[in-house]
Chains A and B, each alone.
Chain A
Amino acid sequence: MKMQWSSWVAWILVLAATVLTYFGAVWYEQHRSQQLATIDIVTRSPLNGNFEPSEVSAVVGKPLRLRIKNAETVSHGFAIPELGVGIAEIKPGQVQIIELTPTRAGTFVFACTVWCSDEHMTMKGKLIVTEATVAQR
Protein backbone atom coordinates (compact mmCIF):
# COMPACT_ATOMS: atom_id res chain seq x y z
CA MET A 1 0.00 0.00 0.00
CA LYS A 2 2.83 2.32 0.95
CA MET A 3 4.58 1.47 -2.31
CA GLN A 4 1.48 2.41 -4.30
CA TRP A 5 1.33 5.78 -2.62
CA SER A 6 4.99 6.46 -3.34
CA SER A 7 4.58 5.31 -6.94
CA TRP A 8 1.79 7.80 -7.46
CA VAL A 9 3.87 10.61 -6.01
CA ALA A 10 6.82 9.59 -8.17
CA TRP A 11 4.72 9.56 -11.34
CA ILE A 12 3.23 12.95 -10.52
CA LEU A 13 6.71 14.39 -9.94
CA VAL A 14 8.07 12.96 -13.20
CA LEU A 15 5.11 14.15 -15.24
CA ALA A 16 5.30 17.59 -13.62
CA ALA A 17 9.01 17.82 -14.42
CA THR A 18 8.55 16.86 -18.07
CA VAL A 19 5.11 16.95 -19.68
CA LEU A 20 3.67 19.66 -17.44
CA THR A 21 6.79 21.79 -17.88
CA TYR A 22 6.54 21.57 -21.65
CA PHE A 23 2.81 22.20 -21.98
CA GLY A 24 2.85 24.77 -19.17
CA ALA A 25 5.50 26.85 -20.92
CA VAL A 26 3.80 26.61 -24.31
CA TRP A 27 0.41 27.48 -22.81
CA TYR A 28 1.84 30.45 -20.91
CA GLU A 29 3.46 31.78 -24.07
CA GLN A 30 0.26 31.38 -26.07
CA HIS A 31 -1.63 33.16 -23.31
CA ARG A 32 0.85 36.06 -23.42
CA SER A 33 0.69 36.27 -27.19
CA GLN A 34 -3.09 36.39 -27.14
CA GLN A 35 -3.08 39.26 -24.67
CA LEU A 36 -0.97 41.34 -27.04
CA ALA A 37 -0.58 40.65 -30.76
CA THR A 38 3.00 39.42 -31.11
CA ILE A 39 4.98 39.39 -34.31
CA ASP A 40 8.33 37.61 -34.49
CA ILE A 41 11.01 39.21 -36.62
CA VAL A 42 14.34 37.48 -37.20
CA THR A 43 17.25 39.74 -38.11
CA ARG A 44 19.95 38.61 -40.51
CA SER A 45 22.35 40.53 -42.73
CA PRO A 46 20.88 41.18 -46.21
CA LEU A 47 22.97 38.48 -47.88
CA ASN A 48 21.80 35.96 -45.26
CA GLY A 49 18.09 36.74 -45.56
CA ASN A 50 17.52 40.27 -44.23
CA PHE A 51 14.60 40.88 -41.87
CA GLU A 52 12.26 37.89 -41.82
CA PRO A 53 9.45 38.79 -42.42
CA SER A 54 10.33 42.01 -44.19
CA GLU A 55 6.72 43.21 -44.18
CA VAL A 56 4.70 43.44 -41.00
CA SER A 57 1.06 44.48 -40.73
CA ALA A 58 -0.58 46.38 -37.91
CA VAL A 59 -3.81 48.18 -37.21
CA VAL A 60 -4.25 51.74 -35.99
CA GLY A 61 -4.99 51.83 -32.29
CA LYS A 62 -4.20 48.13 -31.70
CA PRO A 63 -1.28 47.48 -29.33
CA LEU A 64 1.47 45.43 -30.95
CA ARG A 65 4.50 43.56 -29.67
CA LEU A 66 7.47 43.12 -32.01
CA ARG A 67 9.74 40.33 -30.79
CA ILE A 68 13.01 40.78 -32.64
CA LYS A 69 15.59 38.00 -32.57
CA ASN A 70 19.13 38.33 -33.80
CA ALA A 71 20.00 34.96 -35.35
CA GLU A 72 23.53 35.93 -36.37
CA THR A 73 26.92 36.31 -34.78
CA VAL A 74 27.08 40.07 -35.43
CA SER A 75 25.09 42.77 -33.64
CA HIS A 76 22.08 44.35 -35.30
CA GLY A 77 19.84 47.24 -34.38
CA PHE A 78 16.20 48.07 -35.07
CA ALA A 79 14.40 51.33 -35.56
CA ILE A 80 11.18 52.71 -37.05
CA PRO A 81 12.24 56.35 -37.29
CA GLU A 82 8.85 57.74 -38.29
CA LEU A 83 7.20 56.22 -35.22
CA GLY A 84 10.09 57.16 -32.94
CA VAL A 85 10.77 53.62 -31.65
CA GLY A 86 13.90 51.53 -31.79
CA ILE A 87 16.52 49.39 -30.06
CA ALA A 88 20.10 50.56 -30.11
CA GLU A 89 21.66 47.10 -30.24
CA ILE A 90 20.44 43.52 -30.47
CA LYS A 91 23.40 41.34 -29.63
CA PRO A 92 24.05 37.98 -31.29
CA GLY A 93 21.45 35.50 -30.13
CA GLN A 94 19.53 38.14 -28.18
CA VAL A 95 15.79 38.75 -28.29
CA GLN A 96 14.45 42.27 -27.78
CA ILE A 97 10.88 43.44 -27.46
CA ILE A 98 9.25 46.61 -28.76
CA GLU A 99 5.70 47.38 -27.75
CA LEU A 100 3.87 50.08 -29.63
CA THR A 101 0.40 51.25 -30.58
CA PRO A 102 0.31 52.80 -34.06
CA THR A 103 -1.69 56.00 -34.06
CA ARG A 104 -1.88 56.63 -37.79
CA ALA A 105 -2.09 54.60 -40.97
CA GLY A 106 0.74 54.38 -43.45
CA THR A 107 3.81 52.43 -44.48
CA PHE A 108 6.76 52.89 -42.16
CA VAL A 109 10.26 51.69 -42.92
CA PHE A 110 12.16 49.79 -40.25
CA ALA A 111 15.90 49.31 -40.59
CA CYS A 112 19.01 47.97 -38.92
CA THR A 113 20.90 50.70 -37.04
CA VAL A 114 24.19 48.90 -36.44
CA TRP A 115 26.76 48.53 -39.19
CA CYS A 116 26.46 44.78 -39.63
CA SER A 117 27.90 44.09 -43.08
CA ASP A 118 28.78 45.73 -46.38
CA GLU A 119 25.10 45.49 -47.31
CA HIS A 120 23.97 47.09 -44.06
CA MET A 121 22.27 50.02 -45.80
CA THR A 122 19.91 47.63 -47.58
CA MET A 123 18.76 45.92 -44.39
CA LYS A 124 15.23 47.23 -44.25
CA GLY A 125 11.60 46.19 -43.95
CA LYS A 126 8.12 47.73 -43.80
CA LEU A 127 5.48 48.13 -41.13
CA ILE A 128 2.17 48.57 -42.90
CA VAL A 129 -0.44 50.15 -40.63
CA THR A 130 -4.04 50.17 -41.79
CA GLU A 131 -7.18 51.72 -40.38
CA ALA A 132 -9.18 49.31 -38.33
CA THR A 133 -12.15 47.71 -40.06
CA VAL A 134 -15.50 47.62 -38.35
CA ALA A 135 -14.89 44.01 -37.35
CA GLN A 136 -11.46 44.83 -35.90
CA ARG A 137 -12.91 47.66 -33.83
Chain B
Amino acid sequence: MLARTFARINKLRWDMEARIVELTVTSVKKQDITLIARYGIEEITAPAGVLAAQLKPGTVNCDLHLPEGKAVRLHLKLGAHKPIGWVAQVAQA
Protein backbone atom coordinates (compact mmCIF):
# COMPACT_ATOMS: atom_id res chain seq x y z
CA MET B 1 0.00 0.00 0.00
CA LEU B 2 1.01 3.59 -0.34
CA ALA B 3 1.87 5.87 2.55
CA ARG B 4 1.11 9.58 2.71
CA THR B 5 4.78 10.40 2.98
CA PHE B 6 5.90 9.71 -0.55
CA ALA B 7 6.58 6.07 0.14
CA ARG B 8 5.34 2.58 -0.64
CA ILE B 9 4.81 0.03 2.09
CA ASN B 10 6.02 -3.14 0.44
CA LYS B 11 5.21 -5.28 3.41
CA LEU B 12 3.87 -5.01 6.92
CA ARG B 13 3.92 -8.16 8.97
CA TRP B 14 3.18 -8.60 12.63
CA ASP B 15 2.99 -11.21 15.29
CA MET B 16 1.69 -9.72 18.48
CA GLU B 17 2.36 -12.83 20.50
CA ALA B 18 6.03 -12.63 19.64
CA ARG B 19 5.80 -8.81 19.75
CA ILE B 20 7.38 -8.56 16.33
CA VAL B 21 6.75 -6.24 13.42
CA GLU B 22 8.47 -6.36 10.07
CA LEU B 23 8.14 -3.40 7.76
CA THR B 24 9.55 -2.96 4.30
CA VAL B 25 9.29 0.51 2.87
CA THR B 26 10.48 2.13 -0.34
CA SER B 27 10.63 5.90 -0.42
CA VAL B 28 9.92 7.85 -3.59
CA LYS B 29 12.59 10.31 -2.56
CA LYS B 30 15.40 10.61 -0.07
CA GLN B 31 13.80 11.74 3.16
CA ASP B 32 13.97 11.59 6.93
CA ILE B 33 10.97 10.14 8.66
CA THR B 34 9.90 9.22 12.15
CA LEU B 35 8.74 5.67 12.65
CA ILE B 36 6.16 5.26 15.41
CA ALA B 37 5.02 2.14 17.22
CA ARG B 38 2.98 3.10 20.27
CA TYR B 39 3.52 -0.28 21.87
CA GLY B 40 7.06 0.97 22.43
CA ILE B 41 10.08 -0.10 20.41
CA GLU B 42 12.41 -2.31 22.41
CA GLU B 43 14.70 -3.20 19.54
CA ILE B 44 15.02 -2.22 15.91
CA THR B 45 17.07 -3.74 13.17
CA ALA B 46 17.71 -1.72 10.04
CA PRO B 47 20.23 -1.59 7.20
CA ALA B 48 23.35 0.44 7.77
CA GLY B 49 22.81 4.18 7.58
CA VAL B 50 19.06 4.06 8.06
CA LEU B 51 18.87 4.67 11.81
CA ALA B 52 19.39 8.37 12.51
CA ALA B 53 20.39 7.70 16.10
CA GLN B 54 20.70 4.84 18.48
CA LEU B 55 17.34 3.69 19.77
CA LYS B 56 16.49 4.31 23.37
CA PRO B 57 14.68 1.03 24.15
CA GLY B 58 11.03 1.40 24.98
CA THR B 59 10.45 4.67 23.20
CA VAL B 60 7.59 5.09 20.78
CA ASN B 61 9.44 6.89 18.01
CA CYS B 62 12.57 6.31 16.02
CA ASP B 63 14.07 8.58 13.35
CA LEU B 64 15.16 7.08 10.05
CA HIS B 65 16.99 8.15 6.92
CA LEU B 66 15.20 6.66 3.93
CA PRO B 67 17.10 6.48 0.65
CA GLU B 68 15.38 7.10 -2.67
CA GLY B 69 13.92 4.10 -4.47
CA LYS B 70 15.53 1.43 -2.32
CA ALA B 71 13.52 -1.04 -0.27
CA VAL B 72 14.39 -0.79 3.41
CA ARG B 73 13.53 -3.68 5.66
CA LEU B 74 12.99 -2.96 9.33
CA HIS B 75 12.53 -5.44 12.12
CA LEU B 76 10.98 -4.23 15.37
CA LYS B 77 10.64 -5.84 18.74
CA LEU B 78 7.67 -4.22 20.43
CA GLY B 79 7.06 -3.32 24.02
CA ALA B 80 3.90 -3.81 26.02
CA HIS B 81 2.36 -0.35 26.02
CA LYS B 82 -1.09 0.23 24.59
CA PRO B 83 -1.40 2.65 21.67
CA ILE B 84 -4.43 4.22 23.32
CA GLY B 85 -2.37 4.95 26.42
CA TRP B 86 -1.97 8.55 25.32
CA VAL B 87 -5.53 9.24 26.46
CA ALA B 88 -4.74 8.73 30.12
CA GLN B 89 -1.56 10.75 29.80
CA VAL B 90 -3.35 13.71 28.29
CA ALA B 91 -6.29 13.45 30.66
CA GLN B 92 -3.94 13.48 33.66
CA ALA B 93 -1.75 16.27 32.34
Are chains A and B native binding partners rather than an unrelated pairing? no
